Amino acid sequence: MAVQCNLSGEDVLILVMNFILPCVGIYMKGKQFDANFWVALCLMVFIFTYPLAMIFAYLYFFDIMKIG
């Protein structure tokens, strides 16, 4: 029983970047500096809100939550 993955190499890189630098992952997914990028960047500024930025980036990647 083989497991198939429909993610490309770019998608895997975006998932890793969502963990390391969430705003960069959001930019790589959307290819633009929109409100989602700036929200993630503002959340990254403070250490105690950094996990929220990661969660927001993953929600953006999986098309669960987007602003605008």
pLDDT tens-digit readout, 35-44: 999 999 999 9
pLDDT for 15 equals 96
* Backbone phi and psi for residue 58, each to the nearest 5 degrees, phi listed first: -70, -40
pLDDT tens figures, 8-22 = 999 999 999 999 999
5 has pLDDT over 90: no
User: Helix crossing, 50-61 with 22-30: angle to 10°?
Assistant: 20
Does residue 2 carry a pLDDT above 90? no
Give the mean pLDDT of 32-51.
94
Instruction: Please report, for the chain, the start and end positions of each structural domain, with discontinuous segments joined by +.
Output: 9-61
Query: Which pTM was predicted?
Result: 0.88
